[in-house]
Amino acid sequence: MKLRPLSSTILISAAAGIILTSKENRNKIHNLSEKFKYKWKSFRGNELSNKLPIDKGGNPDPKNVEDNKMVSEGALTSICYYNEKEQQ
């Protein structure tokens, strides 16, 4: 059995226990974790994905002939169509 990983784990646990005994330090760590979660969510683009108009994503309506025709023509056509609509 290797003692080095075990002793470092015990040392880290003891240091964390000493740091977290103070309520002020616990609040600081809690605030840092909240800031990290907010930055992580914004980095992943959750705010952007909430604004996208996804009404039928991945579940096309078989009766919508125009949309199905656009998808069958390929990705480039749909990108051009989207760009034209955005420019108007």
Domain boundaries, the chain: 8-52, 56-88
Q: What is the pLDDT of residue 88?
A: 72
Q: Is the dihedral of CA 27, 30, 36, 38 positive or negative?
A: negative
Residue range 27-39: average pLDDT? 88
Contact 68, 62 (CB under 8 A): yes
pLDDT at residue 1 is higher than 70: no
Q: What is the pLDDT of residue 18?
A: 87
What b/e string do you get for 55-81 counting C-beta neighbours within 10 Å, with b at 16 or more?
eeeeeeeeeeeeeeeeeeeeeeeeeee
Q: What is the pLDDT of residue 51?
A: 57
Read off the pLDDT band of 57 (50, 70, 90).
Answer: low
Q: What is the pLDDT of residue 87?
A: 79
Q: What is the pLDDT of residue 54?
A: 60
Contacts for 41 with CB less than 8 Å, ≥ 6 apart: 47
